Copies of this chain bind each other. A is one copy, B any other.
Amino acid sequence: MTQNIYDNPEFFQVYSQMRRSVHGLEGAAEWPTLRALLPELRGKRILDLGCGFGWFARWAREQGAAEILGIDVSEKMLERAKEMTSDAAIAYQQADLEEVELPAARFDLVFSSLALHYIENLERLLISVRTALVPDGWFVFSMEHPVYTAPLQPGWVEYEGRPGWVLNSYLSEGARVTDWLTKGVIKQHRTLGTTFGLLVRSGFTVTHLVEWGPTAEQVAAFPDMAKETERPMLVLMAARPSPKL
Contact = CB atoms under 8 A, between A and B. Distances in A.
A177 interface: no
Interface in A155-188: 155, 157, 159-160, 162-172
A114 interface: no
A230 B164 contact: no
A232 B171 contact: yes
Given A172-B229, A229-B172, A157 B159 contact: yes
A231 B159 contact: no
Nearest to A164: B166
A205 interface: yes
Contacts of A196: 206, 208-209
Given A165-B167, A167-B231, A231-B168, A153 B147 contact: no
Number of identical protomers: 2
A235 B166 CA distance: 20
A47 to B, nearest CB: 25
Nearest to A146: B211
Nearest to A163: B168
Contacts of A200: 207-208
A195 to B, nearest CB: 9
A71 to B, nearest CB: 28
A203 interface: no
A155 B160 contact: yes
A89 interface: no
Given A159-B157, A206-B206, A164 B168 contact: yes
B164 A211 contact: no
B193 A209 contact: yes
Interface in A111-166: 147, 150-153, 155, 157, 159-160, 162-166
B162 A168 contact: yes
B211 A192 contact: yes
A210 interface: yes
A70 interface: no
Contacts of A103: none
Interface string A195-220: 01100100001111111010000000
Contacts of A159: 153, 155, 157, 166, 168
